[in-house]
Amino acid sequence: MDWLDFDTAGCSIQKTLDVIGEKWTVLILREAFNGVRRFDQIRDHVGVSDPVLSDRLRKLVNAGVLATTPYREPGRRARSEYRLTSKGFDLYPVMISLLRWGDEHCTDTDGPPLEVFHRDCGEPVRAVVECAAGHSLASPKEALASPTSAATMRSVPVRG
């Protein structure tokens, strides 16, 4: 069997992108990972419109990536903060990978504008791809993708 023989509708990458694959969504997640939780703060820091921010926050809450927590400032109406759930925290390696890729391929000559360090030892944080036995993989050539019983065959062959 060849990769092109399988239907990609159930692909985990595609399903992930359905949740977080929009630019504003990733930037909202960046804010959440940096402790920004309130609508107005997210909007002002990211530069996103109210309707787009409302839509993306609603999608992230519905997907279980963020949860709302009510708060009320004196003399104001009750509002919600948006906090990462355990499902949301599982996206941390993805965010670090995006940051590191940008550091490597998109920074100016002055270097990256942000660095993330391990709180305990002070070393830079990096994302690592490794197998369950702890072996690091430096390239996709060191991995083998294999369909599982959940994979389905394409009903129409890909023309090549």
For the segment 52-107, what is each residue's pLDDT rounded down to a tens digit?
A: 999 999 999 999 999 999 999 899 999 999 999 999 999 999 999 999 999 999 99
Neighbour-count burial of 148, counting CB atoms closer than 10 A to its CB (0-12 exposed, 13-18 middle, 19+ buried)? exposed
The per-residue pLDDT for 146 is: 83
- As a CATH number, domain 3-90+128-142 is 1.10.10.10
Residue 158 confidence (pLDDT) above 90: no
Full-model pTM: 0.87
pLDDT above 70 as % of the chain: 96
Q: Specify the amino acid at residue 20.
A: I
The whole-angstrom separation of Cα 104 and Cα 120 is 25
Residue 135 has pLDDT above 70, yes or no: yes
Mean pLDDT over all residues of the chain?
Answer: 92
Lowest mean pLDDT among 13-22, 43-52, 145-154: 145-154
Do the Cβ atoms of 62 and 87 come closer than 8 Å? Answer: no
Task: Break the chain into its structural domains and give their ranges.
Answer: 3-90+128-142
d(CA 120, CA 147): 40
Main-chain dihedrals φ then ψ at residue 43, nearest 5 degrees: -55, -50
